[in-house]
Structure 1
């Protein structure tokens, strides 16, 4: 935004959660030293008791609890900022919905920024309608859901914190979803060519038939360049290894900063990769802990020798590389040697794969990722599904099958062609006069009409 509209400045309000979100310090330090018009304001830490953290049913419930208490600090921060700057807009994500009240109280326009796609916005907007139509929890509904703009999908594929209507996180999602139309607009990390049907459903009012919907502004794909921002200097081991591999020959497996597998599942993945005969680059994290007091903390580095099958490294050393915890994903996906991506379906990873023109195998783990899988497989046709048993376990034969298919089958080649077309569409959207640049210009013009100078996020 600041590249094309340099008269703006942005202040980012930061709250400290009591759980692992990955390290943002290198990124903040980099931005602080390179971009003077982006400022960071750390809000006071809100203490949560050990009992609250230990007994929280999921990370989302903790986030809701924390951010619901944050409004006084947010308002104090904005009032303080307004003494030296003029605040034109308050931008926040879904979990910060309570900030709507702050914006209304201070007469500041409020905008959601969605780091997920338009399909998930359609789901949230339609959620209150589904809630009114049933007394059952989604985990108990034995039929598919039909949400405007989305393919039908099983009710148990709703985001995990929404599956049980008796849990507190369900109530938060319901309450926040009901409040979505109260914002002045939705700013979305997506682009028109990627989700045309979901965009049309939202704009046509099909998701909330009894209320006016704020305008939506698709300004993506926004991709964060990795490398030095993540504290890495020089050529990462993964990139050096990829340089030695043939073009389009490597399947890349990475499941995000919170994507953890049991020891049994890791062994099954390893067996499937070995049997596939494919070249692979695999990022492995330690299994989740059984200690409730530590389940939201960053896991330790994995002990690969004990987690993976005996002799696995010797048998695959000519065609595989396993690394611990992290690689520069954007650079890896963009490397000529990478021909397929097994992903947890986090939206950032999806956009990074699209922008690199790499077809996917969809293996969702948490949050809205099961919905993203449906969109990728059924709607966008950019991925093959990784099918799991009822308890979520994926067999080595399924891993072998899907890895082989995405790398060399006719279906995999068709996915690759479609992904390459959308890669070009993404470039057009972000170019001068493209749909995403026009959408950004439109919302900036609205802010400019207020004749003020700052945006607070």
Structure 2
């Protein structure tokens, strides 16, 4: 071990006059990669003498193709260099797991030797200042410690969710039940009381492998040189204060520095990065009145059954509101699609008979994808029905568009509590026990968002936060100040 460190320091000293490098290590899903790239771009904006190196892991399951996105970034930002790590082959017993999180953790666990080699290789030509890991990549911290590089975490969700993971080991000690069966409100510092069943989905079942992996990652967080969070001070001030004051960890466990440098969002999401044609949906929005359209979009993994799609359609039709709706194929159909490509949905088959004709004067249904940031920032859009993945939340905040929160997976139910009760920029979509939402609820919430006093109240709050988000990223803003402190910390490291 000491010999490895000596070799590494020899590399570092030999290259002390060459360019500094920051190495980023995202987990495989494209949403996490996009967040890491935006972090890299932000570092370059504030610290242009750096080069950014991103370690790319092949996902262990069928996922959105990241190659066009990576090619686009490489073409536009040559200071970001991608390193494709060798593909990890999982044993058959692992790949039978239906859980994306478990598969991801297993690949990342086996990835450490590749990460070690990559860091040594990069250090041949650069001085590695910091190694910044996705929360999923917590086991990579041991590699950073082994090579004496300051290791940081980049938490791609909000500070409230970070508080829940910092608190998870204590929650684990205080009960022997699964969170889904606990049926209680959890007191997590800095956030409203959280129903135990609204904790992030992968930690709901105690004897599940994903729970064990998330618990292990949670114990890694305090061991890092710092935690970078994609949020900003005025969006989650109470949660940020609770974490910084050490309230989320036991008294004998020091809290690492917290750097809130958001909102970092993907500002130019044209599909594939190379098409200059204006998407049809943006042209359609040009013809709609200001603030009149509700946009429905549920992320790359947000898939609904045919029955649920028909309920959404019925609710939208009865609401009388203008809408732009992105429809993807139901999961059973998607699973039979070849990995090479995505088949667009058959709208006539999936949606109620005559729906498209009856609503053509006030609605547009888009197949599979829309440029979400561009849509949210269009003057005609006045509301957003979203799964509330954190990237989408920040995009809505930066566009000043209020939300109807319809969580589907990951930490989205937790986000709904934060958005509705703490930040107050969302209305909740209420589902039945099996997760189904009927047409009446869709109609009610869409109307409420677009045409009620409560909808107007959260709209004003969201527009105020839009200004605060811009201020946070300005020269003297809280996120810029936090970033300066981050750079100082890794320079000292």
Q: TM-score, normalised by structure 2?
A: 0.88
- Mapped to 2, the partners of 1:400 and 1:296 lie a distance apart of 36
Compared CA separation, residues 449 and 65, structure 1 to 2 (3 A): same
Compared CA separation, residues 345 and 436, structure 1 to 2 (3 A): same
The yes-or-no answer on 1:146 pairing with 2:187 is yes
The yes-or-no answer on 1:409 pairing with 2:409 is no
Q: Per the alignment, in what secondary structure is the counterpart of residue 113 of structure 1?
A: strand
Aligned position for 2:359: 316
The yes-or-no answer on 1:387 pairing with 2:430 is yes
- Mapped to 2, the partners of 1:293 and 1:158 lie a distance apart of 31
| Contact 1:118–1:190 (8 Å) recurs in 2 | yes
Aligned position for 1:69: 110
Q: Per the alignment, in what secondary structure is the counterpart of residue 201 of structure 1?
A: helix
Q: Per the alignment, in what secondary structure is the counterpart of residue 41 of structure 1?
A: strand
Aligned position for 1:41: 83
Aligned position for 1:182: 223
1:32 positional shift: 1.3
Aligned position for 2:312: 269
Give the stretch that moved more between structures: 433-442 or 226-235: 226-235
Aligned position for 1:341: 384
The yes-or-no answer on 1:357 pairing with 2:370 is no
- Mapped to 1, the partners of 2:261 and 2:65 lie a distance apart of 26
Can you give the 5+ residue segments of structure 1 that lack an aligned partner in the other structure? 451-457
Aligned position for 2:461: 418
The yes-or-no answer on 1:208 pairing with 2:249 is yes
Selected match of 1:96 from 137, 153, 162: 137
- Mapped to 2, the partners of 1:350 and 1:258 lie a distance apart of 16
1:141 positional shift: 0.9
For residues 298-342 of structure 1, give each alpha carbon's deviation from its aligned partner in whole angstroms, at most 9, with x where no partner exists. Answer: 763211111100010010000000011111100000000000000
1:236 positional shift: 0.6
| Contact 1:59–1:296 (8 Å) recurs in 2 | no
1:38 positional shift: 1.1
Give the stretch that moved more between structures: 85-94 or 24-33: 24-33
1:435-454 counterparts in 2 under 5 A?
Answer: 435-449=478-492
- Mapped to 1, the partners of 2:426 and 2:161 lie a distance apart of 18
Selected match of 2:178 from 125, 128, 137: 137
Aligned position for 1:17: 59
- Mapped to 1, the partners of 2:317 and 2:331 lie a distance apart of 24
For residues 344-380 of structure 1, give each alpha carbon's deviation from its aligned partner in whole angstroms, at most 9, with x where no partner exists. Answer: 0000000000000000000000000000000000000
1:4 positional shift: 2.0
1:233 positional shift: 2.1
For residues 93-113 of structure 1, give each alpha carbon's deviation from its aligned partner in whole angstroms, at most 9, with x where no partner exists. Answer: 111001110011000000001
1:237-276 counterparts in 2 under 5 A?
Answer: 237-276=280-319
- Mapped to 2, the partners of 1:365 and 1:39 lie a distance apart of 33
For residues 72-113 of structure 1, give each alpha carbon's deviation from its aligned partner in whole angstroms, at most 9, with x where no partner exists. Answer: 000001011111111111001111001110011000000001
1:144 positional shift: 1.5
For residues 156-190 of structure 1, give each alpha carbon's deviation from its aligned partner in whole angstroms, at most 9, with x where no partner exists. Answer: 11112111111111111111111210000011111
Aligned CA RMSD, in angstroms, stands at: 1.7
Q: Per the alignment, in what secondary structure is the counterpart of residue 164 of structure 1?
A: coil
For residues 384-406 of structure 1, give each alpha carbon's deviation from its aligned partner in whole angstroms, at most 9, with x where no partner exists. Answer: 00000111100100000000010
Aligned position for 2:371: 328
- Mapped to 2, the partners of 1:295 and 1:133 lie a distance apart of 46
- Mapped to 2, the partners of 1:124 and 1:213 lie a distance apart of 13
1:413 positional shift: 0.3
Can you give the 5+ residue segments of structure 2 that lack an aligned partner in the other structure? 1-42
- Mapped to 2, the partners of 1:231 and 1:52 lie a distance apart of 37
- Mapped to 2, the partners of 1:100 and 1:448 lie a distance apart of 18
Aligned length: 449
Please list every run of at least 4 consecutive aligned residues from structure 1 whose deviation after the TM superposition is greater than 4 angstroms: 290-299
1:448 positional shift: 3.2
The yes-or-no answer on 1:300 pairing with 2:363 is no
| Contact 1:185–1:216 (8 Å) recurs in 2 | yes
Aligned position for 1:217: 259
- Mapped to 2, the partners of 1:424 and 1:289 lie a distance apart of 42
